[in-house]
Protein backbone atom coordinates (compact mmCIF):
# COMPACT_ATOMS: atom_id res chain seq x y z
CA UNK A 1 0.00 0.00 0.00
CA UNK A 2 1.12 3.54 -0.72
CA UNK A 3 1.39 5.72 2.36
CA UNK A 4 -0.03 8.64 0.36
CA UNK A 5 -3.27 6.66 0.01
CA UNK A 6 -3.58 5.66 3.65
CA UNK A 7 -6.33 7.86 5.11
CA UNK A 8 -4.66 8.05 8.53
CA UNK A 9 -1.61 10.18 9.29
CA UNK A 10 0.99 9.89 11.99
CA UNK A 11 1.20 12.47 14.75
CA UNK A 12 4.30 13.89 16.40
CA UNK A 13 2.83 14.09 19.88
CA UNK A 14 0.70 11.64 21.82
CA UNK A 15 -2.86 12.62 22.76
CA UNK A 16 -2.74 14.52 26.06
CA UNK A 17 -5.10 12.28 27.99
CA UNK A 18 -3.37 8.96 27.25
CA UNK A 19 -0.87 7.78 29.86
CA UNK A 20 -0.04 4.25 28.74
CA UNK A 21 2.68 3.55 26.17
CA UNK A 22 0.45 1.30 24.10
CA UNK A 23 -2.26 3.92 23.64
CA UNK A 24 0.23 6.75 23.04
CA UNK A 25 2.18 4.93 20.34
CA UNK A 26 -0.81 3.24 18.70
CA UNK A 27 -2.71 6.53 18.49
CA UNK A 28 0.29 8.50 17.23
CA UNK A 29 0.88 5.90 14.55
CA UNK A 30 -2.75 5.83 13.44
CA UNK A 31 -3.32 2.23 14.50
CA UNK A 32 -6.24 3.02 16.80
CA UNK A 33 -8.66 5.87 17.44
CA UNK A 34 -10.08 6.54 20.86
CA UNK A 35 -13.84 7.09 20.61
CA UNK A 36 -14.38 7.21 24.36
CA UNK A 37 -12.67 5.98 27.47
CA UNK A 38 -12.12 2.25 27.02
CA UNK A 39 -13.69 2.32 23.54
CA UNK A 40 -11.44 2.25 20.51
CA UNK A 41 -11.60 1.92 16.74
CA UNK A 42 -9.01 -0.28 15.07
CA UNK A 43 -7.92 1.80 12.08
CA UNK A 44 -6.53 0.09 8.93
CA UNK A 45 -2.99 -0.33 10.32
CA UNK A 46 -4.20 -1.58 13.70
CA UNK A 47 -6.77 -3.83 12.09
CA UNK A 48 -4.04 -5.53 10.04
CA UNK A 49 -2.12 -6.29 13.25
CA UNK A 50 -5.25 -7.57 14.96
CA UNK A 51 -6.12 -9.77 11.98
CA UNK A 52 -2.62 -11.27 11.99
CA UNK A 53 -3.04 -12.15 15.66
CA UNK A 54 -6.51 -13.58 15.05
CA UNK A 55 -5.12 -15.73 12.25
CA UNK A 56 -2.44 -17.17 14.56
CA UNK A 57 -5.09 -17.88 17.19
CA UNK A 58 -7.39 -19.51 14.60
CA UNK A 59 -4.66 -21.79 13.33
CA UNK A 60 -3.80 -23.03 16.82
CA UNK A 61 -7.44 -23.41 17.89
CA UNK A 62 -8.29 -25.33 14.72
CA UNK A 63 -5.21 -27.53 15.28
CA UNK A 64 -6.67 -28.83 18.56
CA UNK A 65 -10.08 -29.39 16.98
CA UNK A 66 -11.81 -26.13 17.95
CA UNK A 67 -14.81 -25.36 15.74
CA UNK A 68 -15.21 -21.67 14.97
CA UNK A 69 -18.63 -20.06 15.08
CA UNK A 70 -20.18 -16.71 16.00
CA UNK A 71 -22.70 -16.16 18.79
CA UNK A 72 -24.90 -13.14 19.51
CA UNK A 73 -23.93 -10.25 21.75
CA UNK A 74 -27.53 -9.49 22.75
CA UNK A 75 -28.18 -12.16 25.34
CA UNK A 76 -31.63 -12.44 26.86
CA UNK A 77 -32.04 -12.08 30.61
CA UNK A 78 -33.26 -15.70 30.92
CA UNK A 79 -29.76 -17.00 30.17
CA UNK A 80 -28.20 -14.99 32.99
CA UNK A 81 -30.97 -15.83 35.39
CA UNK A 82 -30.50 -19.53 34.72
CA UNK A 83 -26.88 -19.33 35.87
CA UNK A 84 -27.43 -16.71 38.57
CA UNK A 85 -25.34 -14.08 36.76
CA UNK A 86 -27.93 -11.38 36.02
CA UNK A 87 -26.63 -9.22 38.89
CA UNK A 88 -23.05 -9.05 37.68
CA UNK A 89 -21.41 -5.60 37.87
CA UNK A 90 -19.55 -5.75 34.57
CA UNK A 91 -22.63 -6.49 32.44
CA UNK A 92 -24.25 -3.76 30.36
CA UNK A 93 -27.99 -4.23 30.48
CA UNK A 94 -30.57 -2.92 28.08
CA UNK A 95 -34.20 -3.20 27.04
CA UNK A 96 -35.75 -3.52 23.60
CA UNK A 97 -38.92 -1.85 22.30
CA UNK A 98 -41.01 -4.70 23.73
CA UNK A 99 -39.43 -4.31 27.15
CA UNK A 100 -37.45 -7.53 26.84
CA UNK A 101 -34.26 -7.34 28.84
CA UNK A 102 -30.80 -8.26 27.62
CA UNK A 103 -27.25 -8.35 28.88
CA UNK A 104 -24.51 -7.50 26.38
CA UNK A 105 -22.21 -10.52 26.02
CA UNK A 106 -19.19 -10.31 28.32
CA UNK A 107 -18.66 -14.12 28.24
CA UNK A 108 -20.64 -16.99 26.70
CA UNK A 109 -20.82 -20.03 28.99
CA UNK A 110 -24.62 -19.76 29.23
CA UNK A 111 -25.16 -19.42 25.48
CA UNK A 112 -22.84 -22.29 24.57
CA UNK A 113 -24.37 -24.60 27.18
CA UNK A 114 -27.84 -24.01 25.78
CA UNK A 115 -26.75 -24.50 22.15
CA UNK A 116 -24.84 -27.68 23.01
CA UNK A 117 -27.99 -29.09 24.64
CA UNK A 118 -29.72 -29.38 21.26
CA UNK A 119 -26.98 -31.59 19.75
CA UNK A 120 -25.44 -33.42 22.66
CA UNK A 121 -27.12 -36.58 23.89
CA UNK A 122 -24.69 -39.39 24.46
CA UNK A 123 -21.12 -39.89 25.64
CA UNK A 124 -20.34 -40.62 21.97
CA UNK A 125 -20.97 -36.96 21.10
CA UNK A 126 -18.00 -35.80 23.20
CA UNK A 127 -15.47 -34.36 23.59
CA UNK A 128 -15.83 -31.33 21.36
CA UNK A 129 -14.98 -27.67 21.56
CA UNK A 130 -16.23 -24.51 19.91
CA UNK A 131 -14.90 -21.00 19.79
CA UNK A 132 -15.48 -17.53 18.50
CA UNK A 133 -13.51 -14.32 18.06
CA UNK A 134 -15.97 -11.66 19.06
CA UNK A 135 -16.45 -8.20 20.51
CA UNK A 136 -17.16 -8.36 24.23
CA UNK A 137 -18.61 -5.66 26.45
CA UNK A 138 -17.68 -5.05 30.06
CA UNK A 139 -18.60 -2.15 32.28
CA UNK A 140 -15.04 -1.85 33.62
CA UNK A 141 -14.75 0.62 36.50
CA UNK A 142 -11.40 1.91 35.31
CA UNK A 143 -10.10 1.98 31.77
CA UNK A 144 -6.75 3.75 31.94
CA UNK A 145 -4.45 1.29 30.24
CA UNK A 146 -5.34 2.01 26.63
CA UNK A 147 -6.40 -1.14 24.82
CA UNK A 148 -5.17 -3.36 27.65
CA UNK A 149 -8.52 -2.85 29.37
CA UNK A 150 -11.41 -1.85 27.16
CA UNK A 151 -15.11 -1.53 27.83
CA UNK A 152 -15.55 -2.96 24.36
CA UNK A 153 -12.79 -5.34 23.30
CA UNK A 154 -12.08 -8.44 21.30
CA UNK A 155 -12.01 -11.88 22.89
CA UNK A 156 -11.32 -15.34 21.60
CA UNK A 157 -13.45 -17.59 23.76
CA UNK A 158 -13.31 -21.37 23.51
CA UNK A 159 -15.66 -23.76 25.33
CA UNK A 160 -15.23 -27.50 25.68
CA UNK A 161 -17.62 -30.32 26.56
CA UNK A 162 -16.63 -33.59 28.23
CA UNK A 163 -18.12 -36.70 29.80
CA UNK A 164 -15.78 -36.55 32.81
CA UNK A 165 -12.93 -34.71 34.57
CA UNK A 166 -10.27 -36.88 32.95
CA UNK A 167 -11.39 -35.90 29.46
CA UNK A 168 -11.57 -32.25 30.53
CA UNK A 169 -8.07 -32.35 32.00
CA UNK A 170 -6.60 -33.88 28.88
CA UNK A 171 -8.07 -31.13 26.74
CA UNK A 172 -7.24 -28.43 29.30
CA UNK A 173 -3.53 -29.12 28.99
CA UNK A 174 -3.80 -29.32 25.21
CA UNK A 175 -5.25 -25.81 25.26
CA UNK A 176 -2.42 -24.67 27.55
CA UNK A 177 0.07 -26.01 24.99
CA UNK A 178 -1.78 -24.27 22.14
CA UNK A 179 -1.75 -21.01 24.13
CA UNK A 180 2.02 -21.22 24.58
CA UNK A 181 2.36 -21.62 20.82
CA UNK A 182 0.08 -18.66 20.13
CA UNK A 183 1.94 -16.28 22.44
CA UNK A 184 5.31 -17.48 21.19
CA UNK A 185 4.24 -16.92 17.60
CA UNK A 186 3.26 -13.37 18.65
CA UNK A 187 6.83 -12.88 19.91
CA UNK A 188 5.89 -13.04 23.61
CA UNK A 189 6.88 -15.20 26.52
CA UNK A 190 3.70 -15.89 28.50
CA UNK A 191 4.24 -17.45 31.91
CA UNK A 192 1.54 -19.93 32.90
CA UNK A 193 0.47 -18.81 36.35
CA UNK A 194 -1.71 -20.51 38.93
CA UNK A 195 -4.57 -18.36 40.14
CA UNK A 196 -7.53 -18.95 42.41
CA UNK A 197 -10.65 -20.15 40.70
CA UNK A 198 -12.96 -17.29 41.58
CA UNK A 199 -16.51 -18.55 41.79
CA UNK A 200 -16.06 -21.06 38.97
CA UNK A 201 -14.16 -23.87 40.59
CA UNK A 202 -12.23 -24.93 43.65
CA UNK A 203 -9.27 -26.01 41.55
CA UNK A 204 -6.63 -23.63 40.29
CA UNK A 205 -7.26 -21.82 37.08
CA UNK A 206 -4.31 -20.77 34.97
CA UNK A 207 -3.51 -17.35 33.62
CA UNK A 208 -1.03 -16.59 30.88
CA UNK A 209 0.96 -13.62 32.08
CA UNK A 210 3.44 -11.44 30.17
CA UNK A 211 5.91 -9.59 32.37
CA UNK A 212 5.48 -5.83 31.87
CA UNK A 213 5.44 -2.75 34.08
CA UNK A 214 2.14 -1.85 32.38
CA UNK A 215 0.45 -4.92 33.88
CA UNK A 216 -2.21 -4.74 36.57
CA UNK A 217 -1.32 -8.12 38.05
CA UNK A 218 1.66 -9.14 40.09
CA UNK A 219 3.08 -12.61 39.72
CA UNK A 220 5.70 -14.64 41.54
CA UNK A 221 7.73 -16.85 39.24
CA UNK A 222 10.75 -19.09 39.34
CA UNK A 223 13.70 -17.69 37.40
CA UNK A 224 14.76 -21.21 36.49
CA UNK A 225 11.69 -23.35 35.69
CA UNK A 226 9.06 -20.58 35.30
CA UNK A 227 6.68 -22.11 37.84
CA UNK A 228 4.45 -19.21 38.78
CA UNK A 229 1.57 -18.10 40.97
CA UNK A 230 -0.48 -14.93 40.99
CA UNK A 231 0.69 -12.83 43.98
CA UNK A 232 -2.90 -12.46 45.23
CA UNK A 233 -3.02 -16.18 46.25
CA UNK A 234 0.47 -17.17 46.56
CA UNK A 235 2.33 -18.79 49.45
CA UNK A 236 5.62 -18.15 47.65
CA UNK A 237 7.76 -15.12 48.45
CA UNK A 238 10.20 -13.08 46.39
CA UNK A 239 13.76 -14.25 47.04
CA UNK A 240 12.48 -17.61 48.29
CA UNK A 241 12.99 -21.06 46.83
CA UNK A 242 10.83 -22.55 44.10
CA UNK A 243 8.70 -25.42 45.48
CA UNK A 244 9.25 -27.31 42.20
CA UNK A 245 12.95 -26.92 41.42
CA UNK A 246 14.51 -24.90 44.27
CA UNK A 247 15.29 -22.09 41.81
CA UNK A 248 15.06 -18.46 42.91
CA UNK A 249 11.63 -16.82 43.09
CA UNK A 250 11.29 -13.39 41.53
CA UNK A 251 8.25 -11.14 41.24
CA UNK A 252 7.04 -8.75 38.62
CA UNK A 253 4.10 -6.88 37.21
CA UNK A 254 2.38 -8.72 34.43
CA UNK A 255 -0.40 -8.47 31.85
CA UNK A 256 -2.91 -11.31 31.71
CA UNK A 257 -3.23 -12.16 28.02
CA UNK A 258 -5.25 -15.33 28.44
CA UNK A 259 -6.68 -17.76 30.93
CA UNK A 260 -8.15 -21.22 31.14
CA UNK A 261 -10.87 -22.50 33.47
CA UNK A 262 -12.15 -25.91 34.44
CA UNK A 263 -15.82 -25.05 34.85
CA UNK A 264 -17.00 -28.43 36.04
CA UNK A 265 -20.78 -28.83 35.90
CA UNK A 266 -21.92 -25.40 37.04
CA UNK A 267 -23.31 -24.34 33.66
CA UNK A 268 -24.42 -27.76 32.47
CA UNK A 269 -26.52 -28.10 35.64
CA UNK A 270 -28.00 -24.64 35.13
CA UNK A 271 -29.10 -25.61 31.60
CA UNK A 272 -29.84 -29.31 32.18
CA UNK A 273 -27.08 -30.19 29.77
CA UNK A 274 -26.84 -33.94 30.39
CA UNK A 275 -25.67 -37.00 28.51
CA UNK A 276 -26.23 -40.72 28.83
CA UNK A 277 -23.29 -43.05 29.45
CA UNK A 278 -22.74 -46.56 28.07
CA UNK A 279 -25.12 -48.03 30.65
CA UNK A 280 -27.80 -45.46 29.86
CA UNK A 281 -27.32 -43.49 33.08
CA UNK A 282 -27.60 -39.69 32.92
CA UNK A 283 -24.82 -37.28 33.99
CA UNK A 284 -24.20 -33.57 33.72
CA UNK A 285 -21.65 -32.57 31.05
CA UNK A 286 -18.27 -31.31 32.29
CA UNK A 287 -17.21 -28.02 30.72
CA UNK A 288 -14.12 -25.88 30.29
CA UNK A 289 -13.72 -22.29 29.11
CA UNK A 290 -10.62 -20.64 27.70
CA UNK A 291 -10.10 -16.96 26.84
CA UNK A 292 -7.56 -14.84 25.02
CA UNK A 293 -7.80 -11.08 24.49
CA UNK A 294 -6.55 -10.35 20.94
CA UNK A 295 -6.98 -6.59 21.32
CA UNK A 296 -5.19 -6.69 24.69
CA UNK A 297 -2.48 -8.70 22.93
CA UNK A 298 -1.91 -5.86 20.45
CA UNK A 299 -1.39 -3.51 23.39
CA UNK A 300 0.82 -6.01 25.21
CA UNK A 301 3.09 -6.42 22.21
CA UNK A 302 3.50 -2.64 22.04
CA UNK A 303 4.25 -2.44 25.77
CA UNK A 304 6.95 -5.09 25.43
CA UNK A 305 8.37 -4.07 22.05
CA UNK A 306 8.96 -0.35 21.76
CA UNK A 307 11.72 2.21 22.23
CA UNK A 308 11.70 6.00 22.46
CA UNK A 309 11.12 6.28 18.70
CA UNK A 310 8.15 3.99 18.37
CA UNK A 311 6.88 0.45 18.04
CA UNK A 312 9.00 -2.59 17.09
CA UNK A 313 6.54 -5.19 15.74
CA UNK A 314 7.54 -8.84 15.66
CA UNK A 315 7.37 -9.85 11.98
CA UNK A 316 4.57 -12.36 12.65
CA UNK A 317 2.07 -9.65 13.58
CA UNK A 318 3.46 -6.57 11.78
CA UNK A 319 0.96 -4.68 9.61
CA UNK A 320 3.45 -4.79 6.73
CA UNK A 321 6.77 -6.56 6.37
CA UNK A 322 8.59 -3.78 4.53
CA UNK A 323 8.58 0.00 4.81
CA UNK A 324 9.89 1.30 1.48
CA UNK A 325 11.19 4.87 1.36
CA UNK A 326 11.90 6.77 -1.81
CA UNK A 327 14.38 9.68 -1.45
CA UNK A 328 15.92 12.30 -3.78
CA UNK A 329 13.30 11.99 -6.51
CA UNK A 330 13.86 8.27 -7.09
CA UNK A 331 10.15 7.62 -7.61
CA UNK A 332 10.48 5.79 -10.92
CA UNK A 333 13.03 3.28 -9.61
CA UNK A 334 11.22 2.95 -6.27
CA UNK A 335 7.91 2.27 -8.03
CA UNK A 336 9.58 -0.61 -9.86
CA UNK A 337 10.91 -2.09 -6.63
CA UNK A 338 7.50 -1.65 -5.00
CA UNK A 339 5.75 -3.51 -7.81
CA UNK A 340 8.32 -6.24 -7.84
CA UNK A 341 7.95 -6.87 -4.09
CA UNK A 342 4.16 -6.92 -4.40
CA UNK A 343 4.40 -9.46 -7.23
CA UNK A 344 6.41 -11.66 -4.85
CA UNK A 345 3.60 -11.36 -2.25
CA UNK A 346 5.73 -9.33 0.16
CA UNK A 347 3.58 -6.78 2.01
CA UNK A 348 4.96 -3.27 1.62
CA UNK A 349 4.02 0.14 2.96
CA UNK A 350 5.50 2.48 0.38
CA UNK A 351 6.38 5.99 1.53
CA UNK A 352 6.14 7.46 -1.97
CA UNK A 353 5.84 11.17 -1.13
CA UNK A 354 8.07 13.57 -3.07
CA UNK A 355 7.43 16.44 -0.66
CA UNK A 356 8.13 15.00 2.77
CA UNK A 357 11.67 15.26 4.15
CA UNK A 358 13.93 12.24 4.66
CA UNK A 359 13.81 12.96 8.40
CA UNK A 360 10.02 12.79 8.48
CA UNK A 361 10.04 9.54 6.56
CA UNK A 362 12.61 7.94 8.84
CA UNK A 363 10.66 9.07 11.90
CA UNK A 364 7.48 7.47 10.54
CA UNK A 365 9.32 4.25 9.75
CA UNK A 366 10.50 4.10 13.36
CA UNK A 367 7.13 5.04 14.85
CA UNK A 368 5.17 2.51 12.76
CA UNK A 369 7.64 -0.20 13.66
CA UNK A 370 7.60 -2.21 10.45
CA UNK A 371 10.33 -4.89 10.66
CA UNK A 372 12.38 -3.99 7.56
CA UNK A 373 13.09 -0.49 6.24
CA UNK A 374 14.31 -0.16 2.66
CA UNK A 375 15.65 3.17 1.41
CA UNK A 376 16.11 4.00 -2.26
CA UNK A 377 18.26 7.09 -2.91
CA UNK A 378 20.54 8.43 -5.64
CA UNK A 379 23.45 7.18 -3.56
CA UNK A 380 22.18 3.61 -3.30
CA UNK A 381 21.14 3.54 -6.96
CA UNK A 382 24.73 4.35 -7.98
CA UNK A 383 25.56 0.89 -6.62
CA UNK A 384 22.38 -0.70 -8.10
CA UNK A 385 21.42 -1.20 -4.49
CA UNK A 386 19.02 -0.29 -1.73
CA UNK A 387 19.81 0.34 1.92
CA UNK A 388 18.21 -2.05 4.38
CA UNK A 389 17.78 -1.58 8.09
CA UNK A 390 15.93 -3.75 10.58
CA UNK A 391 13.70 -1.92 13.04
CA UNK A 392 15.23 -2.13 16.47
CA UNK A 393 18.70 -3.09 15.24
CA UNK A 394 21.68 -0.81 14.60
CA UNK A 395 23.47 -0.65 11.30
CA UNK A 396 22.55 -0.75 7.65
CA UNK A 397 23.21 -3.10 4.82
CA UNK A 398 23.54 -2.31 1.13
CA UNK A 399 21.78 -5.00 -0.89
CA UNK A 400 21.81 -5.26 -4.70
CA UNK A 401 18.35 -4.72 -6.13
CA UNK A 402 18.52 -8.01 -7.98
CA UNK A 403 19.31 -9.81 -4.71
CA UNK A 404 16.59 -8.05 -2.74
CA UNK A 405 13.92 -10.71 -3.04
CA UNK A 406 16.33 -13.42 -1.89
CA UNK A 407 17.40 -11.28 1.08
CA UNK A 408 13.81 -10.66 2.13
CA UNK A 409 12.62 -14.23 1.86
CA UNK A 410 15.61 -15.75 3.69
P1 LIG B 1 -8.91 -9.37 33.94
O2 LIG B 1 -8.41 -10.18 35.11
O3 LIG B 1 -7.82 -8.68 33.20
O4 LIG B 1 -10.03 -8.46 34.31
P5 LIG B 1 -10.51 -11.60 33.29
O6 LIG B 1 -9.82 -12.49 34.25
O7 LIG B 1 -11.82 -11.05 33.64
O8 LIG B 1 -9.53 -10.39 32.89
P9 LIG B 1 -11.56 -13.33 31.20
O10 LIG B 1 -12.94 -12.99 31.57
O11 LIG B 1 -11.17 -14.72 31.39
O12 LIG B 1 -10.54 -12.31 31.87
O13 LIG B 1 -11.29 -12.93 29.69
C14 LIG B 1 -10.39 -13.65 28.86
C15 LIG B 1 -9.32 -12.75 28.33
O16 LIG B 1 -9.88 -11.60 27.72
C17 LIG B 1 -8.37 -12.19 29.38
O18 LIG B 1 -7.35 -13.10 29.68
C19 LIG B 1 -7.84 -10.95 28.71
O20 LIG B 1 -6.77 -11.28 27.83
C21 LIG B 1 -9.02 -10.49 27.89
N22 LIG B 1 -9.76 -9.40 28.57
C23 LIG B 1 -10.53 -9.50 29.68
N24 LIG B 1 -11.05 -8.31 30.01
C25 LIG B 1 -10.58 -7.43 29.08
C26 LIG B 1 -10.78 -6.04 28.87
N27 LIG B 1 -11.56 -5.32 29.67
N28 LIG B 1 -10.14 -5.47 27.81
C29 LIG B 1 -9.36 -6.19 26.99
N30 LIG B 1 -9.15 -7.49 27.13
C31 LIG B 1 -9.75 -8.12 28.16
MG1 LIG C 1 -8.15 -12.22 35.53
**For the segment 24-79, what is each residue's pLDDT rounded down to a tens digit?**
999 999 999 999 999 999 999 999 999 999 999 999 999 999 999 999 999 999 99
Atom of ligand 1 nearest to the CA of 297: 20
Mark whether 82 and 129 lie in a shared domain: yes
Q: Which of 296, 297, 302, 303 to mutate to test the pocket of ligand 1 (most atoms within 8 A of CB)?
A: 296
Q: What is the mean pLDDT of residues 326-353?
A: 96
Which residues, 6 or more positions from 327, have their beta carbon under 8 angstroms from its beta carbon? 358, 361, 375, 376, 377, 378
What is the widest separation between alpha-carbon atoms in the chain? 82
Residues 343 and 201 in one domain: no
Distance CA 124, CA 377 (A): 66
Mean pLDDT of the 130-144 span: 94
CA pair distance 295, 301, nearest whole angstrom: 10
Structural domain contains residue 365: yes
Of 307, 330, 348, the last residue of a domain is 307
Q: Which of 132-146, 197-211, 256-270 has the lowest mean pLDDT?
A: 197-211
Q: Residue 409: pLDDT band by 50, 70, 90 thresholds?
A: confident
Q: What is the pLDDT of residue 224?
A: 97
Statement to judge: residues 277 and 373 lie in one domain: no
Give the pLDDT mean for 182-186.
98
Q: Does residue 317 lie in a domain region?
A: no
Q: Is the CB of 209 under 6 A from ligand 1?
A: no
Q: Are residues 274 and 390 in the same domain?
A: no
Q: pLDDT class for 143, splitting at 50, 70, 90?
A: confident
State the ligand closest to the CA atom of 293.
1
Q: What is residue 76's predicted lDDT score, i.e. its pLDDT?
A: 98
Identify whether residues 169 and 104 lie together within a single domain: yes
Provide the residue range defining the domain that includes 79. 3-215+254-307
The answer as to whether 315 is a domain residue is: no
The pLDDT, as a whole number, for residue 144 is: 80
Regarding whether 265 and 403 lie in a shared domain, the answer is no
Q: Are 348 and 388 members of one domain?
A: yes
CB of 258 closer than 6 angstroms to any ligand 1 atom: yes
Residue partners of 40: CB distance under 8 A and separation at least 6? 32, 33, 34, 146, 147, 150, 152, 295
**Mean pLDDT for all residues in the chain:** 96
Q: Is the peptide bond before 157 cis (omega within 30 degrees of 0)?
A: no
Q: Which of 273, 307, 341 is the last residue of a domain?
A: 307
Nearest to 129 by CA among 293, 288, 292, 282: 288
Q: Which residue has the higher pLDDT, 201 or 392?
A: 392
The answer, yes or no, to whether residue 372 has pLDDT greater than 70, is: yes
Q: Verify whether ligand 1 is closer than 6 Å to residue 79 (CB atom).
A: no
Evaluate: CB of 155 within 6 angstroms of ligand 1: yes
Domain assignment present for 352? yes
Considering 8-17, 199-208, 238-247, the range whose residues carry the highest mean pLDDT is 238-247
Give me the CATH number covering residue 288.
3.30.930.10
Within-domain flag for 100: yes
Which band of pLDDT confidence, cut at 50, 70 and 90, is reported for residue 202?
low
Per-residue confidence at 304, pLDDT binned at 50, 70, 90?
very high
Same domain, 285 and 331: no
Give the pLDDT band of residue 198 (cuts 50, 70, 90): low
Q: Are residues 210 and 133 in the same domain?
A: yes
Q: Are residues 282 and 357 in the same domain?
A: no
User: Is residue 196 very low, low, confident or very high in pLDDT (cuts 50, 70, 90)?
Assistant: confident
301 and 402, same domain (yes or no): no
Considering 280, 307, 334, which residue would you say is the last residue of a domain? 307
Distance between Cα 363 and ligand 1 center (Å) = 34
Check whether 328 has a pLDDT greater than 70: yes
Ligand index nearest the alpha carbon of residue 255: 1
Please state the length of the chain: 410
CATH number at residue 329: 3.40.50.800
Distance 237 CA to ligand 2 centre (A): 21
Domain assignment of residue 227, yes or no: no
- Residue 241 belongs to a domain: no
Q: Do 342 and 368 have their domain in common?
A: yes
Q: Is residue 236 in a domain? A: no
In the chain, how many domains are there? 2
Residue 204 confidence (pLDDT): 85
Amino acid sequence: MKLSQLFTKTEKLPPAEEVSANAQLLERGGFIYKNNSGIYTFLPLGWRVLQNINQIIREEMDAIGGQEMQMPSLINKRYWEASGRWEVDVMYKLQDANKHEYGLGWTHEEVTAEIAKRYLQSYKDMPFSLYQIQTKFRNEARAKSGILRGREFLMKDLYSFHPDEASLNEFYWQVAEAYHKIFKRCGLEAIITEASGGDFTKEYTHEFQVLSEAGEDEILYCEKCRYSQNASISQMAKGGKCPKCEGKINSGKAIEVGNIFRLGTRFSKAFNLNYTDEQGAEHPVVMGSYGIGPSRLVGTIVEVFHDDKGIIWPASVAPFQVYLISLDGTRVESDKIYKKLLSKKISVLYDDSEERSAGAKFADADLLGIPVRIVVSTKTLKEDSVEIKRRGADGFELVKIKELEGWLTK
